[in-house]
């Protein structure tokens, strides 16, 4: 069931004896879109009961400011046209949460307790396909990272990236290793990748459990090495003074290209 939760308010009143009604606007102009403003019921009453503190100029500025904000939100959300070809990293807990928020029912019980993805073997393919719909939905809402670093309210944004990163502290597993990861906040110790964009340092922590294969570990090596990574994630912190953005990756891989699509088929 839908409910009306807002009022269409007039900036210049429909009648001359109404709030801010003294104007040269015609009746048609008073009822046209440029003179109309959507307000909640309490604020509609407030601006009409106290027109002296809510003049035409202030309401017009409010309307334009809101329209510009809406336009900027849409402009920051282009469809991400980079299709990931090979996935090196799949953040299972975060993607499972996303699936739940999007109403997508995932049954991962067949995999039991996942200690590390690279131990799944062929079952990894089934798990990857389980998240396909989730990733398709996320891609459509992702903001390019080089745009997000210029937004003061970037925290919580879903972002896409396709950049060269430095790698740091991602250790290749050894027999008998535990894969439980505890981040300390000390970048000299914690596994992460990072890059610099327009003066902003972007840091993404890497949990070894979600690296997909033993071969994929080499993509995050050596420490202080470089690699080109594409992926999706979200901004969980942005220090504007220090110009440091922290992101949590959902997936990391390499983007498709014409050669790969020609060799393997464009539907891969």
Q: What is the per-residue DSSP string for 104-145?
A: -----GGG-S-S-GGGSTTHHHHHHHHTHHHHHHHHHHPEEH
Examine the pLDDT at 2 and tell me if it is beyond 50.
Answer: no
For residue 135, give every residue at least 6 positions away whose Cβ sits within 8 Å of its Cβ, in sequence order, or none: 84, 95, 232, 250, 251
Mean pLDDT value across residues 218-235: 90
Question: Which three-class secondary structure state does DSSP give residue 187?
Answer: coil
pLDDT for residue 108: 85
User: pLDDT digit string (tens) for 83-105?
Assistant: 676 889 999 999 888 888 878 88
Q: Which structure tokens are listed for 111?
A: 């995999």
Does pTM top 0.75 for this prediction?
A: no
Confidence of residue 268 (pLDDT cuts 50, 70, 90): very low
The pLDDT value given to residue 69: 67
DSSP 217: H
Mean local confidence (pLDDT), 183-198: 92
Q: Whole-angstrom Cα distance, residue 91 to residue 145? A: 19
pLDDT at 197: 93
Q: For residues 194 and 176, give the distance between their C-alpha atoms in angstroms, rounded to a whole number.
A: 29
């Amino acid at each position: 069931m839908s409910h009306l939760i807002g009022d269409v308010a007039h900036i210049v009143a429909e009648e001359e004896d109404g709030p801010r009604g003294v104007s040269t606007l015609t009746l048609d102009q008073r009822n046209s879109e440029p003179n109309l403003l959507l307000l909640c019921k309490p604020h509609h009453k407030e601006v009409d009961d106290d027109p002296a503190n809510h003049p035409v100029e202030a309401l017009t500025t409010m309307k334009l400011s809101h329209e510009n904000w809406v336009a900027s939100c849409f402009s920051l959300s282009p469809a991400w046209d980079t299709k990931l070809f090979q996935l090196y990293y799949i953040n299972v807990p975060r993607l499972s949460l996303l699936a739940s928020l999007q109403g997508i029912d995932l049954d991962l019980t067949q995999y039991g307790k996942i200690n590390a993805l690279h131990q799944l073997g062929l079952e990894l393919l089934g798990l990857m396909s389980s998240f396909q719909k989730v990733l398709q939905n996320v891609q459509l809402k992702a903001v390019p990272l080089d745009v997000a670093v210029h937004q003061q309210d970037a925290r919580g944004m879903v972002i896409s990236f396709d950049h060269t990163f430095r790698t740091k502290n991602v250790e290749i597993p050894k027999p008998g290793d535990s894969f439980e990861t505890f981040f300390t906040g000390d970048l000299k110790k914690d596994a992460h990748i990072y890059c610099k964009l327009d003066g902003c340092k972007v840091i993404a922590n890497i949990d070894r459990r979600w690296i997909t294969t033993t071969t994929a570990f080499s993509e995050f090596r050596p420490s202080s090495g470089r690699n080109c990574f594409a992926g999706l994630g979200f901004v969980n912190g942005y220090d504007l003074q220090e110009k440091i953005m922290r992101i949590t990756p959902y997936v990391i891989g390499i983007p498709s290209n014409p050669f790969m699509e020609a060799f393997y088929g464009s539907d891969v």
